[in-house]
């Protein structure tokens, strides 16, 4: 079982938090802080597993994380999950984000956290891995987005126009903080079918 999925940046700012067990908002924030503290002090070339913190975890739980450019992707899992499997799953997640957002960067996650949630929902459900096949995930996400667009229809047009105008007002909005070399793969780890 996956207990929580956290994404935060190099400064510990949460970009997505998904807890599959209930915590109060305060505890959630503490967990994010603690996890960030644990993960951020580790070197780049050390292993991607570490024992859970005080708040989230216990002897059965592990934190499995990957660091891409400015973002940390952290999964807190128990012993029923395969460590290497989860590492692959993170890779699949990031690659899927990359496909859905076309060259994903931290800003995409900042402004479209709802979309990230929707993508995640197609991969992990209630703490259990639902789908590991990237094509399948993308197909389902696209189909749902299409439905959304169809529903918005003509009524959505003015809203879109307005948001385009709003974006025009912010020419400095950077789009170049790339998430880095997304194609780094763990050696000897063919992704799941």
Partner 1 sequence: MALKIVKGSIDRMFDKNLQDLVRGIRNHKEDEAKYISTCIDEIKQELKQDNIAVKANAVCKLTYLQMLGYDVSWAAFNIVEVMSSSKFTYKRIGYLAASQCFHESTDVIMLTTNQIRKDLSSPNQYDTGVALTGLSCFVTPDLARDLANDIMTLMSHTKPYIRKKAVLIMYKVFLKYPESLRPAFPRLKEKLEDPDPGVQSAAVNVICELARRNPKNYLSLAPLFFKLMTSSTNNWVLIKIIKLFGALTPLEPRLGKKLIEPLTNLIHSTSAMSLLYECVNTVIAVLISLSSGMPNHSASIQLCVQKLRILIEDSDQNLKYLGLLAMSKILKTHPKSVQSHKDLILQCLDDKDESIRLRALDLLYGMVSKKNLMEIVKKLMLHVDKAEGTTYRDELLTKIIDICSQSNYQYITNFEWYISILVELTRLEGTRHGHLIASQMLDVAIRVKAIRVFAVAQMATLLDNAHLLTGNMQRNGICEVLYAAAWICGEFSEHLENPMQTLEAMLRPKVATLPGHIQAVYVQNAAKLFATVLKSQEGNTDSTAAQETSQLMIDRLPLFVQSANLEVQERASCILQLVKYIQKLQQKDVEVAEEVTALFAGELNPVAPKAQKKVPVPEGLDLDAWINEPPSESESEDEQPKAIFAKEEPKHSRPRHTEVDEKELARRREARKQEQANNPFYIKASPSSQKVYQEAPGVEHIPVVQIDLSVPLKVPGLPMSDQYVKLEEERRQKARADKKKKEKKKRKEKHSGRGKKHDSGPESEEDIAPAHQVDIVTEEMPENALPSDDDDKDPNDPHKALDIDLDKPLADSEKLPVRSHRAAEALKSPAEDGETENAASQEPKKKSSKEKREKKKDKDRERKKSKEEKKKKKKHKHEEKEEDLLGGQADESVVQSDETSMVAEPPTSTSAEVSDLDFWLSNAPVPSNTQEAVTVAAAAEAAPEPEAPSGAAPDSEPDEPKDTEMEETKSSKHKKKKQKKEKEEKEKKKKKKHHHHHHHSDGGGEESVQNGTVEEEEPLPPMSNYCLLAENSYIKMVYDIQGNLQDGSQVVVSVIFENKCDSFLKSMEFNVLDSLNSKLQRPEGSGPHDGLTVPFQLPPGVSNEARFVFTVQSIVMSQKLKGTLTFIVKNEDSSTHEKLDFKLHFTCTSYLITTPCYSDAFAKLLESGDLKGSSVRLEGVNMPFHHLLARICFHHHFSVVERIDSCASMYSRSIQGHHVCLLVKTSGQTVCIDAKCDEPTLLGNVLDEIKQTFSQC
Q: Which of 132, 177, 180, 182 binds partner 1 (CB under 8 A)?
A: 132
Neighbouring CB atoms inside 10 A of 18's CB total: 17
Residue 192 token pair: 């799941």
Would you count residue 177 as binding partner 1 (CB under 8 A)?
A: no
In this structure, the strands spanning 128-129 and 14-19 are unpaired
For the chain, first and last CA: distance in Å? Answer: 20
∠151-104-7 over CA atoms, to 5°? 95
Give the residue among 41, 15, 19, 40 at the shortest CA–CA distance from 31.
Answer: 19
**Rounded least distance, CB 181 to partner 1, Å:** 17
Angle at 108 between CA 106 and CA 110, to 5 degrees: 70
If binding is defined by CB under 8 A, does position 110 make contact with partner 1? Answer: yes
> Among 140, 177, 180, 182, which residue interacts with partner 1 (rule: CB under 8 A)?
140
10 near partner 1 (CB under 8 A):
no
**Residue 138 found at the interface with partner 1 (CB under 8 A):** no
Residues of this chain that interact with partner 1 (CB under 8 A) are: 1, 14, 16-18, 20, 22, 24-26, 28-29, 43, 45-51, 80, 82-85, 87-88, 110-114, 117-118, 121, 125-133, 136, 140, 143-144, 147-148, 151-152, 155, 158-159, 162-163, 166, 170, 186-190, 192-193
């Amino acid at each position: 079982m996956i207990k929580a999925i956290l994404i935060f940046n190099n400064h510990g700012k949460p970009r997505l938090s998904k807890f599959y067990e209930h915590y109060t908002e305060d505890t959630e924030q503490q967990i994010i802080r603690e996890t960030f503290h644990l993960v951020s002090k580790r070197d780049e070339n050390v292993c991607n597993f570490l024992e859970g913190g005080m708040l989230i975890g216990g002897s059965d739980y592990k934190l499995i994380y990957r660091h891409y450019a400015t973002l940390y992707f952290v999964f807190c899992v128990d012993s029923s999950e395969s460590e290497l499997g989860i590492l692959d799953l993170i890779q699949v997640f990031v690659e899927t984000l990359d496909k859905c957002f076309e060259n994903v960067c931290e800003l995409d996650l900042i402004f479209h956290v709802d979309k990230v949630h929707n993508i995640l929902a197609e991969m992990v459900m209630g703490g259990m891995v639902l789908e590991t096949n990237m094509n399948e995930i993308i197909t389902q996400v696209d189909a749902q987005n299409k439905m959304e667009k169809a529903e918005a229809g003509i009524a959505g047009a003015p809203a879109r126009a307005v948001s385009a105008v709003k974006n025009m007002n912010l020419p400095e909005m950077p789009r170049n903080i790339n998430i880095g070399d997304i194609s780094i793969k763990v050696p000897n780890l063919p992704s799941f079918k």
